[in-house]
Structures are given as C-alpha cells and as structure tokens.
Amino acid sequence: MSESVYLQDISDFAEALAREAGVLVRRERDTNTLRTDYKQQTELVTHADIMADDFITSSIRKRFPNHRILSEEALPDLSQAENLSTPLWIIDPIDGTVNYAYGHPQVAVSIAYAENGRVQAGVVHAPFVEETFRATRGEGATLNDRPIRHSGATALRQSLFATGFPYTKDNLEPLVKRLEAMIHQCRDLRRIGSAALDICWVACGRLDIYYENVSPWDFAAARLIALEAGATAGHFSEVPEGYPADLWGRDILIAAPAIWEPVRQILRSASGYE
C-alpha cells in the first residue's frame, strides 16, 4: 500500500470515528440527564466525554494495536508527544465541554494522526451543526467534502480574531495584556469556546486570526486543516528544541498569511518577549 493510500485510509477511519462519536455525544445531551464532574477541581468533564473517549480509543486499539494514543480524558500523558518511535493518535472527544454542558452548538470531536511528530491527517467534526472539517497532509482541506481556504485577510484593522482563556484564573495578566493589544488593532474578538473550531474557522475564512495556549488534543487536527487551507501556523514564542512543533501548544498562532507576522509581533511585544 502506497503512503498516500495509507493516509487516505487513516483519514477515512478518523472521520468515521469522529462521526460515530458525534452521534454518541449528541444523543447523550439530547436524551439523557447530563452528568458532570470536575477534574483538577476546575475543569468541567461530562459522562459523554468519557464515553466518547472510550469509544474512540478502543476502536483505534482494535485496528492499530501498535499505535500510541494521547487523549484528553483516558490517556492525557503529554510525554507521548515527545516519543517519536511509533504512530500517535491525538484525541479530544469533546472540544468545548462547557459549551456542551450549556447547550451551545460550538462543540467538536477532534482526531489527529501523527508520525514522527508530524500530524499527517486530521478530522474535526461538529455534530450539532453537521460540519466535518478534514485534511490529509499535502491533499488540501475540506468542509463537508468541499475545499476550503483561509480568508485572505491583509489588514489587521479589518481582521476578526479569536482566543480563549484557561479554567484556572490565577495568572490572567499576560492574557489580558495580549487581549488589550489585539482588540485595539483588529476589527473585533470572537470567543467561541472550542479551540478546534476556532482554528477550523480560520481555515475556512470565518475568522482571520487565532492564538492561545492549548494542549495537543485541542489543536493537532485543526492545525493541519488550517495549514492545508493555506493559513500560516506557528508560535509567537520559541518552541523547545527537540519538541515537535506540530504538537507544541504554548503561544500558538494561526492566521491568514499576510497578517501572521504583524500579529506575531504584537503578541510578542504584549507578552514581554522582546
């Protein structure tokens, strides 16, 4: 089997899993009493998160028993991202759990597949609006099987940006400084509540800019989708030497190419990096 055929098979499998998991999480919210809990005392988790994570991870293990898995709920060991020995699946069963718990539609199942630290295939499925973003490296990006491209934004003043905030609120000053710098130089802010969808919306032109500190499961699939849609993806601080840039989530920045560098400079200055 050629590499392109293999990755197409991987991508098809990831989409099928994401869609099935989407059916599960939608059914759980629509028909059952929502059961919630907290991890690390602050971060909301629902029973549906656990169910969807179990479904996805068990399906991957059954088909690819030698592959490793990094998932938000069942297997959140971030050291897996530094281990390049075998293929790695990166999973967020419900990105936007707070949205999910409050009945908002901005919820996504995110599944990425990486080899040697580089994401090769990614799917982000939004079950409540029936939108499926997908990309395979070198093959472009799609939304519901139709090709997508970034907005083509060239002026910051006319650009729409998105970001997010952590569950813990004990060190918000740096985030507020960045937000203040950006809000004065861009058109406006959107707070969607799902990093995966924020990035996919940059990919399809609904947003021009996204930045945040996130975990690999939040952005791995969507970052590839944005890249394959022609957006620029990187960081406004340095990636540690030897760490795969595709999976490093601190100070991530994704934007239309013409405005990426000006935004990077704004965020670096606001963060005191220069």
Span 143-169, pLDDT tens digits: 999 999 999 999 999 999 999 988 777
Share of the chain above pLDDT 70, in %: 95
Q: Is the pLDDT of residue 233 over 50?
A: yes
Task: Tell me the residue type at 118.
Answer: R
Share of the chain above pLDDT 90, in %: 79
Q: Is the pLDDT of residue 39 over 70?
A: no
Q: Residue 262 has what pLDDT?
A: 98
Q: Which residue has the tokens 């939304």?
A: 143
Structural domains in the chain, sorted by start: 3-147 (3.30.540.10), 156-271 (3.40.190.80)
Q: If you average pLDDT over residues 183-190, what whole number do you get? A: 97
State both tokens at 239: 């990636």
Q: Known binder of ligand: residue 218?
A: yes
Provide φ and ψ at 52, rounded to 5°. Answer: -70, -40
pLDDT band at 40 (very low <50, low <70, confident <90, very high): low
Q: Known binder of ligand: residue 94?
A: yes
What burial class does residue 169 get, using C-beta atoms within 10 Å of its C-beta: 0-12 exposed, 13-18 middle, 19+ buried? exposed
Task: Tell me the residue type at 54.
Answer: D
Q: Known binder of ligand: residue 95?
A: yes
Report yes or no: 181 and 261 within 8 Å, Cβ to Cβ: no
State both tokens at 251: 């100070």
Q: Known binder of ligand: residue 72?
A: yes
Q: If you average pLDDT over residues 257-261, what whole number do you get? A: 98
Q: If you average pLDDT over residues 188-213, what whole number do you get? A: 97
What burial class does residue 114 get, using C-beta atoms within 10 Å of its C-beta: 0-12 exposed, 13-18 middle, 19+ buried? buried
Q: Known binder of ligand: residue 111?
A: no
The Cα–Cα gap between 268 and 182 comes to 11
Span 99-144, pLDDT tens digits: 998 999 999 999 999 999 999 999 999 999 999 999 999 999 999 9
Distances (CA, A) of 66 to 10, 60, 88, 187, 269: 14, 10, 10, 47, 44
User: Using the 8-state DSSP alphabet, how is residue 234 labeled?
Assistant: E
Question: What rounded mean pLDDT belongs to the chain?
Answer: 92
Would residue 251 be called left, alpha or beta, if left means φ above 0 and alpha means ψ between -120 and 50 degrees? left
pLDDT band at 41 (very low <50, low <70, confident <90, very high): very low
